[in-house]
Structure 1
Amino acid sequence: MKRPLINFAFYFSAFCVFISQSIYSQTDPFVFGDRLPDAPELAASGPFPVGVRTLELIHANQPNIQESNGTEMPVYDRPLRVEVWYPAQENPDAKMAEYTDFLGTTTDPTRPLKAFTFPGRAERNAVPDTSQGPYPLVIVSHGYLGSRVLMTYLTENLASKGYLVVAIDHTESTHENPGKFASTLYHRPLDDLFVLEEMDRFNQPEEGNFLSGMVDASRTALLGYSMGGYGVLNAAGAGFSPGFVGAFSQMTSGSQLLATRSLSDPTYPRTVDPRVKAIVALAPWGMQRGVWDSEGLQSLRTPTFFIAGSEDDISGYEDGVKAIYEGASNAERYLLTYLNARHNVAPNPPVSPDLDPADYMHYSEPVWDEERVNNINQHFVTAFLGIYLKGLDYGKFLDLPEDSLEETWTGFLPRTSIGLELRQARP
């Protein structure tokens, strides 16, 4: 039986793309986030050149959990370093930025802390393009331990599509600056909300900031991975359970600080910022540890896109991410599942095959090709944020059969949506 001509056309087209990218790669090495030949449609970079700058922020008078001694809670001016990616003016002489991150630990002498660099596709300190601003704001929160440059494949990609993207180095939660886990538990959602306030402030002309006229904080998304997912869900309305608040109190010698992030505190619902229009939670941590109960999850009303591996061994799946998705019954929500994947469905790939195995596994996904995962995430996050922050007609990329084996999903080349599931639900 003859094969349909469309198959030949598909394979010939894919071959041409492969050849063109092979030629391209000889002069321009592959960078995290570059589009592979089999990437889905919306993974492609957008029309804007991308600029990047580093800012140092100070959140004044915050509880200093790191230095608490069990009898009193000191306060401090909490430093937050952030990386900002933004649409930039065209510059034919632009030199692409390099990013610095860390591997290893400060506590294990067999894995000393080491810095490493990797290239990006953004120009350091580029001139902002205000011609189509202000741009919707996306705030990005890394895992524990992690960094603000853990997901440059996504942050640069979104900026090229007309978003103002800010990724946080959460103090006391990075490789370079690890700290007490209790500090991470308390500060994550508050860091996100503080950065939202700062970006809105920097947009004002009287501030004289390079972001003036660039930030539309009224259209904000919070995006978090692992502990970052934990933080963005709480920041958007998923109140912590009484049991988790009690566990935190025991961890911190009786501190009731976390109660303010629970529905037991009548002021908590008023902290849910109406400017936050969408949430992306990649492998969010906490459900297996009792962080949320049914009431807390039902208090989440912000449209949310969950991404998870079906074999997540850190956050859990059936009793972890999927349980959060099912419990958040008052929110419009999606759950993209990588079948057989574990926890690392969000970060850049490992930088080298020669890493210490523990460092390598901190970033790697044992079943899925990480560069392909990056492209798929770019596609779906673009579709979701396009709908909820920009009002774009991207519904066809999300209105899909749950099982990708039923038919090739819209936006994917034939045969390439295998291994994925997409659930969706509305209140």
Structure 2
Amino acid sequence: MKYTSLIIFTLVLNLFAFSADTIAQNSFVYGDPLPDAPELSPRGSYSVGVQTLQFTNKGQVNILKSKGGVDTLYDRSLTAEVWYPAIVPTGTVALVDYQDVMGTANDSKRPLIPFTFPGRSLRDAAPLRSEGSFPLLIVSHGYVGSRFLMTYLTENLASKGYIVVAIDHTESTFRDAAPFTSTLLNRAKDILFVLNETAELGKANSKHFLAGIVDDTNTGIIGYSMGGFGALNAAGAGYSEQLSRTFAAMTGGSKAIEGRTTASSQYASTVDSRIKAVVAFAPWGMERGAWNAEGLKGLTVPTFFVAGSQDDISGYEKGIKAIYLTATRAPRYLLTYENARHNIAPNPPPAEALQPGLPFDEYYRYAEPAWNERRINNINQHFVTAFLGVYLKKKDYQKYLNLPENSNEKGWTGFKGRSAVGLQLNHAVPE
């Protein structure tokens, strides 16, 4: 009798364990394909590992403490998350819980609210080394934001054979939001610094878990909003003298940003030839005079812009589309979500953002009024896969980019029947 009871108890435990894994595998995770997801949206063939990295950029300008045109220095700490092709042991379910917060630090009206959401990666998994190195992608969030803001995309790209490093930009995250001047100064600098540091970790003799699997000579930058602002500058679009004057006025005379302007004799030497492609979601700055035609001439790498036609943060006609039209020396695309506003890049709103009584903006930091966010995520996965596939992996994906301009007038390759609506894709070659 005791033996029979033990068998029954063991079977129940095994059934519970199986059910828990099955539920975890089948439950919704950000980035999972909807039935109408475009062809390149689903994840690739690689299992995905994830780890946290810590970097320190020594001797940087502490613009928040600069006074009277005199800059002080500090060691700038940065946290990053890296996703990579990995080895997942047989029988192990690749799931992870990401810890993030809503709200904004130092804003009494928007207290920090912790939340957890799942991803399809395995924490600290062994990297896959048998296939050599993979192109490097650096991901930069908006102001404010976090390194977990676009996990639907970071995990997806790692599953397709990329090393994906997303930065928490110090003084620009939900947890430590500080005055905007730090974001203006540090975005491009953080991107370039993390690129360099990841390249060092990826050297064959580094003894780091990334050793030998990072192809930093084949790097892409992905930025959203202020991340797009920094990504374009890191890739060659020098800031204008107008931005430099505005920055000086905001900081009591600091000239710290001058080295990132087209007028600076130093700027050209900071443009990194390893950067081969840029994806800029709703890049901020054009409406505020961050660039002019001369500065945008410096952008020569292939660039994929993504925008909402009603963007009220970065602007569309005089903002994102104006950058696209003015950067005439770059092969470039502009994907437009008709009637979308600014939130065409992040994960969907977390469940906690749906609770009554929260500030409305906690929900609208993620959501779009005219679009399903999961649908946007799938479309982004599709086009970013196609674009980076062409320019970083030399894949034959051009058919997914050479499309009729208006999706309402003619079906688009890669989209299921009747599903390609409300989108525009423009394409321009260098002059």
Query: TM-score, structure 1 length as denominator?
Result: 0.93
Residue 272 of structure 2: aligned partner: 273
> Which residues of 2 match residues 11-30 of structure 1 at below 5 A?
28-30=26-28
C-alpha distance in 1, partners of 2:262/2:109?
44
Q: Cα gap change, 1:313/1:253 in structure 2, threshold over 3 Å: closer, same or farther?
A: same
For the pair 1:64 / 2:62, whether they are aligned, the reply is: yes
For the pair 1:379 / 2:382, whether they are aligned, the reply is: yes
Q: CA deviation at 1:241?
A: 0.8
Q: Cα gap change, 1:106/1:295 in structure 2, threshold over 3 Å: closer, same or farther?
A: same
C-alpha distance in 1, partners of 2:164/2:372?
25
Q: Cα gap change, 1:108/1:203 in structure 2, threshold over 3 Å: closer, same or farther?
A: closer
For the pair 1:234 / 2:233, whether they are aligned, the reply is: yes
Q: CA deviation at 1:115?
A: 1.2
C-alpha distance in 1, partners of 2:25/2:413?
32
Q: Cα gap change, 1:175/1:26 in structure 2, threshold over 3 Å: closer, same or farther?
A: closer
Q: CA deviation at 1:57?
A: 0.6
C-alpha distance in 2, partners of 1:248/1:26?
48
- Report the more deviating stretch, 103-112 or 210-219: 103-112
Residue 366 of structure 2: aligned partner: 363
C-alpha distance in 1, partners of 2:204/2:130?
15
Residue 319 of structure 1: aligned partner: 318
For the pair 1:400 / 2:398, whether they are aligned, the reply is: no
Residue 43 of structure 2: aligned partner: 45
C-alpha distance in 2, partners of 1:25/1:134?
34
C-alpha distance in 1, partners of 2:23/2:377?
18
C-alpha distance in 2, partners of 1:299/1:48?
36
> Which residues of 2 match residues 305-344 of structure 1 at below 5 A?
305-344=304-343
C-alpha distance in 1, partners of 2:195/2:384?
20
C-alpha distance in 1, partners of 2:225/2:121?
26
Residue 172 of structure 1: aligned partner: 171
Residue 217 of structure 2: aligned partner: 218
Q: CA deviation at 1:70?
A: 3.3
C-alpha distance in 1, partners of 2:173/2:69?
27
Q: CA deviation at 1:242?
A: 0.8
C-alpha distance in 1, partners of 2:28/2:414?
23
Q: Give the residue type in structure 2 aligned to 1:390.
A: K
C-alpha distance in 2, partners of 1:112/1:198?
33
Measured against aligned partners, the alpha-carbon deviations of 1:314-343 in whole angstroms (never above 9, x if no partner) come to 000000000000000000000000000000
For the pair 1:156 / 2:155, whether they are aligned, the reply is: yes
> Which residues of 2 match residues 166-205 of structure 1 at below 5 A?
166-205=165-204
Q: Of the candidates 52, 55, 58, which is equivalent to residue 54 of structure 1? A: 52
Measured against aligned partners, the alpha-carbon deviations of 1:339-368 in whole angstroms (never above 9, x if no partner) come to 000000000010122262120111111110
Residue 137 of structure 1: aligned partner: 136
Q: Give the residue type in structure 2 aligned to 1:259.
A: E
Residue 248 of structure 1: aligned partner: 247
Residue 88 of structure 1: aligned partner: 86
- Report the more deviating stretch, 350-359 or 233-242: 350-359
Q: CA deviation at 1:66?
A: 2.0
Any idea what SS the aligned residue of 1:221 has? strand
Q: Give the residue type in structure 2 aligned to 1:361.
A: Y
Measured against aligned partners, the alpha-carbon deviations of 1:160-190 in whole angstroms (never above 9, x if no partner) come to 0000000000000001011121111011001
Any idea what SS the aligned residue of 1:197 has? helix
C-alpha distance in 2, partners of 1:185/1:76?
17
For the pair 1:421 / 2:424, whether they are aligned, the reply is: yes
Q: CA deviation at 1:68?
A: 2.1
Q: CA deviation at 1:71?
A: 5.2
The share of aligned pairs that are identical, in percent, is 55
- Report the more deviating stretch, 310-319 or 246-255: 246-255
Does the 8 Å contact 2:69/2:251 carry over to 1?
no
Q: Cα gap change, 1:368/1:25 in structure 2, threshold over 3 Å: closer, same or farther?
A: farther
C-alpha distance in 2, partners of 1:166/1:74?
29
After TM superposition, which residue ranges in structure 1, 4 or more long, deviate above 4 angstroms? 24-27
Residue 30 of structure 2: aligned partner: 32
Q: Give the residue type in structure 2 aligned to 1:196.
A: L
Measured against aligned partners, the alpha-carbon deviations of 1:293-317 in whole angstroms (never above 9, x if no partner) come to 1111111111100000000000000
Any idea what SS the aligned residue of 2:119 has? strand
The unaligned stretches of length 5 or more in structure 2 are 1-21
Does the 8 Å contact 2:243/2:289 carry over to 1?
yes
Any idea what SS the aligned residue of 2:127 has? coil
Measured against aligned partners, the alpha-carbon deviations of 1:205-225 in whole angstroms (never above 9, x if no partner) come to 332100001100000000000
- Report the more deviating stretch, 83-92 or 37-46: 83-92
- Report the more deviating stretch, 404-413 or 336-345: 404-413
Residue 79 of structure 1: aligned partner: 77
Q: CA deviation at 1:25?
A: 7.2
C-alpha distance in 1, partners of 2:414/2:205?
43
The unaligned stretches of length 5 or more in structure 1 are 1-23
Q: CA deviation at 1:69?
A: 3.2
Q: Cα gap change, 1:26/1:300 in structure 2, threshold over 3 Å: closer, same or farther?
A: closer
Residue 285 of structure 1: aligned partner: 284
C-alpha distance in 2, partners of 1:105/1:405?
39
Q: Cα gap change, 1:25/1:378 in structure 2, threshold over 3 Å: closer, same or farther?
A: farther
Residue 410 of structure 1: aligned partner: 413
C-alpha distance in 2, partners of 1:396/1:388?
13
The alignment's C-alpha RMSD in Å is 1.3
C-alpha distance in 1, partners of 2:364/2:225?
15
- Report the more deviating stretch, 121-130 or 355-364: 355-364
Residue 19 of structure 1: aligned partner: none
Measured against aligned partners, the alpha-carbon deviations of 1:224-269 in whole angstroms (never above 9, x if no partner) come to 0000000000000111111111111111111111110111111211
Q: Give the residue type in structure 2 aligned to 1:57.
A: F
Any idea what SS the aligned residue of 1:136 has? strand
C-alpha distance in 2, partners of 1:106/1:322?
32
Residue 355 of structure 2: aligned partner: 354
Residue 393 of structure 2: aligned partner: 390
